[in-house]
A and B are shown apart, each in its own frame.
Chain A
Amino acid sequence: MSADREWESLGRLPQLLLYGACGLVLLFLMAPIFIVIPISFSDSLYLDFPPRGFSLQWYRRFLDSEEWTAAFWTSLQAGILATLLACALGTAAALGLARSRFPGKTLVVGFLVSPMIVPVIVLAIALYAVYAKMKLVGSLFGLVLAHAALGLPFVIVTVSATLQRVDERLEHAALSLGATPLKAFRHVLFPLIRPGMIAGAVFAFIASWDDVVIALFISGTRSATLPKRMWEGLRSEIDPTIAAVSTLLVALSVALMLVVELLRRRSARLAASAQYAEG
């Protein structure tokens, strides 16, 4: 990062143009969120912006509806289980890839991260066809497997990135001082890669929590996830309950975003102090 380097100051006109354009684009980015939040607190019976009075009726309706709360729990369960699975598989894979060289490594890495680039509709119908044969459509187990595949690349990428910054000698030191490989991992390596694992876990959770397309095909009607339930609501009529659900989802996104930002800053600070200690 070029944090302290000097920029030549812009003339007044270019500066005005730059920050003006930037402000408009950011307004475009933020406006939709700022419109949904007030609507969710509206006291009228239909979509109304700006709302005339304040009420929590849509939140109450969300909490009272078994359909909505069941969808919420399905999403939460699938998200947590898929995240745990993706984290276990992804961390192991990242450790296997780190510092190892073997023929075809590029191909293996490409395969491991490819769920990120395959169009999700393609994976959705492919899974639907296989699950239909194996009677897994509508099962939590099937949903967790599919979502773990979506989240796996994120864990591999973030943990690998953290491993690159870990000093190999620390692990060697632990081993030469008599630690078993497992102990060296638990007490030396694991604390060092934990920030990467947590960031990867957050990404994996979001991949599951936000997925609409796969859930649309493989989570039957009774075990619909929250996004699937929202999708159905949006297709029929625009019900302000969705605004309440959306506001809750935005709040969750903010919380998760802050977690990742804090981790990023912390690891940047640690990297900076490590550099200072060495040099």
Chain B
Amino acid sequence: MTGRDLAAPMVLSSWERRFPAEGRARLLLLLPALGFLLLVFAYPLWSIVVRSVTDPQPGFGHYVQIATVDVYLRVFSSTFSLALTVTLATFVLGYPVAYALARSRGLLQAILVMLVLLPFWTSLLVRTYAWMVILGRYGVVNKTLMALGLTDEPIRLLHTGLATHIGMVHILLPFMILPIWSVMARIDPALLMAARSLGASQLSAFVRVYFPLTLPGVLAGGLFVFILALGFYITPALLGGPSDLTISMLIAQQVSELLAWGFASALAVTLLVVTLVVILLAGRLLGTEKIWEGLK
């Protein structure tokens, strides 16, 4: 501590103690971004919150409707189960890839990284389009099946729940692989050696030592995939059937086809709140630091 620091608390107001002078000028740098987001981000969101309880008449009618009418409850529960299935599938498919990435070295690792990153960087619309081509009536899958004589006429694959699942797993898989890999890369394999030298089999060293250490990555990836999947619109709209409505599709439909702004706003607020609750719960249960650690 310098002399200035020792003398300071006597004369500084609590404001000055909390915002030291050189820091205060720095904090001004935050203002443009904060102001911008308040205008372009917070204000529009706030205005739909207001609209959801005032349009067409004041009250919580829209929310009561969402919570009680069967059709809407079903859309919410099917979106949740879609998001959950997709999250589990990306975990099952992604974990071995992350593990292979962590174990490999040099050129092999560089190639594996590129193979994961290229789809990650490719536009979501391009990838959804590719699945339309693959799963279409005369698409790659159907042509192959017919050429092999496994079926005489094309099977309906596109515009089904299955197509939505496949497309979403494909798009979200890198979001699972990358956080798991990033945690794995920081685990010292010597820990496994230690477990082995203490008599653990290779399998039990993996299950009891390695896997628990990778959990922050799995949870971060899982949280990321789950909340992204909850809000998916484009992929289910293009690949799914008319009966596989997600919350996002319902919101878009209410706005652009029915002009039911009040109800659409209520649905949007509900989706937003649900997403935030999932994130807060995950942060509370697992610790925010752990999740951040996984996302780095």
> Does chain A bind chain B?
yes
Q: B-contacting residues of A (Cβ < 8 Å)?
A: 1-3, 5-8, 10-11, 14, 18-19, 21-22, 25-26, 28-33, 35-36, 39, 47, 49, 88-90, 92-93, 95-103, 108, 111-112, 114-115, 117-123, 125-130, 145-146, 148-149, 152, 156, 161, 206, 209-210, 212-213, 216-217, 227, 230-231, 234-235, 238, 242-243, 246, 249-250, 253-254, 256-257, 261
| B155 sits at the interface (CB 8 A) | no
* Cβ-neighbour of A121 out of B28, B140, B227, B252 (below 8 A): B252
The reply to whether A152 and B116 form a contact with Cβ atoms under 8 Å apart is: no
| B53 sits at the interface (CB 8 A) | no
Given contacts A29-B174, A126-B47, A253-B122, 15 further A-B contacts (CB under 8 A): A33-B118, A35-B133, A36-B130, A39-B133, A47-B133, A49-B140, A92-B29, A125-B251, A125-B268, A129-B48, A149-B36, A234-B128, A238-B129, A249-B126, A253-B123
Q: Count B-side interface residues using an 8 Å CB cutoff.
A: 90
For window 124-148 of B, CB contacts with A under 8 Å fall at 124-134, 136, 138-140, 143
The reply to whether B189 and A25 form a contact with Cβ atoms under 8 Å apart is: no
Chain A: which residue is nearest B31 at the CB level?
A96
The reply to whether A210 and B96 form a contact with Cβ atoms under 8 Å apart is: no
The reply to whether A32 and B234 form a contact with Cβ atoms under 8 Å apart is: no
Q: How far is the CA of A11 from the CA of B136 in the complex (A)?
A: 42
Chain A: which residue is nearest B29 at the CB level?
A96
Q: Which residues of A contact B97 (CB under 8 A)?
A: 21-22, 25-26
Q: How far is the CA of A254 from the CA of B120 in the complex (A)?
A: 10
Query: Which of B27, B279, B296 lies at the interface centre, i.e. has the most chain A CB atoms within 10 A of its CB?
Result: B27
| B59 sits at the interface (CB 8 A) | no
Q: Which residues of B contact A254 (CB under 8 A)?
A: 118, 121
Q: Which residues of B contact A102 (CB under 8 A)?
A: 18-19, 23, 27
Q: How far is the CA of A125 from the CA of B262 in the complex (A)?
A: 11
The reply to whether A121 and B231 form a contact with Cβ atoms under 8 Å apart is: yes
Q: How far is the CA of A115 from the CA of B231 in the complex (A)?
A: 13
Q: Which residues of A contact B43 (CB under 8 A)?
A: 130
The reply to whether A35 and B140 form a contact with Cβ atoms under 8 Å apart is: yes
The reply to whether A249 and B45 form a contact with Cβ atoms under 8 Å apart is: no
| B225 sits at the interface (CB 8 A) | no
The reply to whether A32 and B127 form a contact with Cβ atoms under 8 Å apart is: yes
The reply to whether B202 and A123 form a contact with Cβ atoms under 8 Å apart is: no
| B100 sits at the interface (CB 8 A) | yes
Q: How far is the CA of A217 from the CA of B234 in the complex (A)?
A: 13
The reply to whether B26 and A96 form a contact with Cβ atoms under 8 Å apart is: yes
Give the Cβ gap from A124 to chain B, nearest Cβ, in Å: 8
Q: How far is the CA of A125 from the CA of B238 in the complex (A)?
A: 19
The reply to whether B275 and A93 form a contact with Cβ atoms under 8 Å apart is: no
The reply to whether B41 and A249 form a contact with Cβ atoms under 8 Å apart is: no
Q: A-contacting residues of B (Cβ < 8 Å)?
A: 18-19, 23, 26-30, 32-34, 36-37, 40-45, 47-48, 51, 93-94, 96-97, 99-100, 103, 105, 112, 115-119, 121-134, 136, 138-140, 143, 170, 173-174, 185-190, 192-193, 196, 202, 227, 230-231, 233-234, 238, 248, 251-252, 255-256, 261, 264-265, 268-269, 271-272, 275-276, 279, 296
Task: Provide a sorted-by-A list of 24 A–B residue pairs whose CB atoms are within 8 angstroms.
Answer: A5-B189, A8-B202, A18-B100, A19-B100, A25-B97, A28-B170, A29-B119, A31-B134, A33-B130, A97-B30, A99-B26, A100-B23, A102-B27, A118-B275, A122-B231, A123-B44, A123-B45, A128-B255, A149-B36, A149-B40, A227-B123, A231-B125, A234-B129, A253-B122
Q: How far is the CA of A243 from the CA of B116 in the complex (A)?
A: 22
Known: A6-B189, A25-B93, A47-B136. A122 touches B272 (CB 8 A): yes
Q: How far is the CA of A129 from the CA of B143 in the complex (A)?
A: 45
Q: Which residues of A contact B127 (CB under 8 A)?
A: 32-33
Q: Which residues of A contact B174 (CB under 8 A)?
A: 29
Q: How far is the CA of A18 from the CA of B29 in the complex (A)?
A: 49
Give the Cβ gap from A131 to chain B, nearest Cβ, in Å: 8
Give the Cβ gap from B103 to chain A, nearest Cβ, in Å: 6
Q: How far is the CA of A52 from the CA of B249 in the complex (A)?
A: 38
Known: A96-B26, A253-B122. A112 touches B33 (CB 8 A): yes
Q: Which residues of A contact B256 (CB under 8 A)?
A: 217
The reply to whether B189 and A2 form a contact with Cβ atoms under 8 Å apart is: yes
Chain B: which residue is nearest A21 at the CB level?
B96
Q: Which residues of B contact A213 (CB under 8 A)?
A: 233-234
Q: How far is the CA of A278 from the CA of B151 in the complex (A)?
A: 68
Give the Cβ gap from B45 to chain A, nearest Cβ, in Å: 5
The reply to whether A3 and B105 form a contact with Cβ atoms under 8 Å apart is: yes
The reply to whether A5 and B188 form a contact with Cβ atoms under 8 Å apart is: yes
The reply to whether B136 and A238 form a contact with Cβ atoms under 8 Å apart is: yes
Q: How far is the CA of A127 from the CA of B265 in the complex (A)?
A: 12
* Cβ-neighbour of A148 out of B40, B45, B124 (below 8 A): B40
Query: Which of A118, A122, A217, A254 lies at the interface centre, i.e. has the most chain B CB atoms within 10 A of its CB?
Result: A122
List 7 tightest A-B contacts by C-beta distance, closest first.
A119-B231, A32-B130, A96-B29, A126-B44, A93-B33, A96-B30, A253-B121
Q: Which residues of B contact A1 (CB under 8 A)?
A: 185-186
Q: How far is the CA of A146 from the CA of B36 in the complex (A)?
A: 10
The reply to whether A35 and B19 form a contact with Cβ atoms under 8 Å apart is: no
Q: How far is the CA of A22 from the CA of B98 in the complex (A)?
A: 9
Chain B: which residue is nearest A109 at the CB level?
B30
Known: A2-B187, A25-B96, A36-B133. A125 touches B123 (CB 8 A): no
